């Protein structure tokens, strides 16, 4: 909730500064609502999964998202599904599995939540792509932050109280607010420039980057599987981007 308050404030500032408040309208409100319900649902399922199963299991299931994006792009956006897109996604996902090597022995609610979150996050990307055809990035982000604020407030009050952040927490809430909004700005802009089937596999690069940061700054141990998986992910993106550049 508080993160969304920060986000709405930032977006309103830029809308006023750029004299773009007039762009806020309800023409695509149904698509905005679908997008943000999907995003809010995925976000909460992901958090539930994170508290219920191992990080490796959450990560491996989260990175099935590009596979769903390829499928939904074909079904909902009528985008072409060629062999290069399918191959790049599959290679990238194999790289993820090699890197995290999840030990999934039995199905539980945490695993189901993580799997469903990947699906609804994929839908979020599809709806974002659809919105970029008619809406500006700032408009999309305004409805994102405004709706997430409302959803967050409602769910925060389910237990009858709203926790007030401490002075220390406020600093981190502001940081998270800026970082989260920045990430959404980047992904929305990317989806306005390229189809989800091109953008999604690039997201797999987060995994080797996170692993590298862990090795360099947190003394976490890397092994040959991590580097092999990272290499496959990078190779998958090379295939995907090379094909995109030839179109």
Question: Torsion-angle region of residue 9: left (phi > 0), alpha (psi -120 to 50) or beta?
Answer: alpha
pLDDT-derived band at 30 (thresholds 50, 70, 90) equals very high
Confidence bin at 142 (pLDDT 50/70/90): very high
pLDDT, average across residues 186-191: 90
Give the predicted TM-score (pTM) of the model.
0.79
CB-based burial label for 89 (10 Å; 0-12, 13-18, 19+): buried
Q: Which of these ranges, 3-12, 88-97, 220-229, has the smallest mean pLDDT?
A: 220-229
Give 36-91 pLDDT, tens digit per residue.
999 999 989 988 988 887 776 777 777 778 778 878 888 888 877 777 778 877 88
Q: How many domains does the chain have?
A: 1
- The whole-number average pLDDT for the span 179-199 is 87
pLDDT digits (tens, 9 = 90+) for 109-134: 888 898 899 899 999 999 999 999 99
Going by pLDDT thresholds of 50, 70 and 90, the confidence category of residue 34 is very high
Which of 198, 172, 175, 173 has the alpha carbon at shortest distance from 187?
198
- Domain encompassing residue 102: 2-246
pLDDT value at residue 218: 64
Supply the Cα-derived Rg of the chain in whole angstroms.
Answer: 19
What confidence score (pLDDT) does residue 102 get? Answer: 65
The pLDDT-based confidence of 217 (bands split at 50, 70, 90) is confident
Q: What angle do CA 220, 222, 224 make, to 5 degrees?
A: 170
Confidence of residue 222 (pLDDT cuts 50, 70, 90): low
Q: Is the pLDDT of residue 247 over 60?
A: no
CA angle 238, 213, 218 (to 5 degrees): 160
Indicate whether 235 pLDDT > 70. Answer: yes
State the pLDDT at residue 36: 94
For residue 177, the model assigns a pLDDT of: 84
């Amino acid at each position: 909730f508080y993160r969304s308050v920060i986000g709405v404030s930032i977006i309103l500032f830029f809308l006023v500064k750029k004299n773009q408040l007039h762009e806020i309208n309800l023409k695509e409100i149904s698509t905005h609502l679908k997008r943000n319900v999907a995003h809010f649902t995925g976000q909460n399922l992901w958090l539930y999964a994170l508290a219920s199963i191992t990080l490796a299991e959450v990560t491996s299931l989260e990175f099935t998202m590009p596979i769903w994006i390829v499928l939904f792009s074909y079904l909902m956006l009528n985008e072409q599904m060629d062999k290069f897109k399918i191959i790049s996604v599959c290679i990238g996902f194999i790289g993820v599995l090699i890197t995290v090597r999840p030990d999934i022995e039995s199905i539980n609610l945490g695993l189901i939540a993580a799997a469903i979150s990947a699906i609804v996050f994929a839908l979020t990307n599809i709806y974002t792509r659809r919105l970029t055809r008619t809406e500006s990035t700032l408009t999309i982000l305004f409805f994102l932050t405004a709706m997430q604020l409302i959803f967050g407030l409602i769910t925060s009050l389910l237990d009858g109280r709203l926790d007030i952040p401490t002075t220390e927490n406020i600093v981190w809430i502001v940081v998270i607010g800026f970082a989260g909004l920045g990430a959404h700005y980047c992904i929305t802009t990317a989806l306005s420039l390229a189809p989800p089937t091109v953008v999604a596999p690039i997201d797999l690069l987060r995994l080797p980057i996170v692993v590298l940061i862990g090795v360099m700054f947190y003394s976490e141990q890397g092994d040959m599987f991590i580097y092999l998986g990272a290499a496959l992910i990078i190779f998958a993106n090379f295939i995907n981007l090379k094909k995109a550049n030839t179109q």
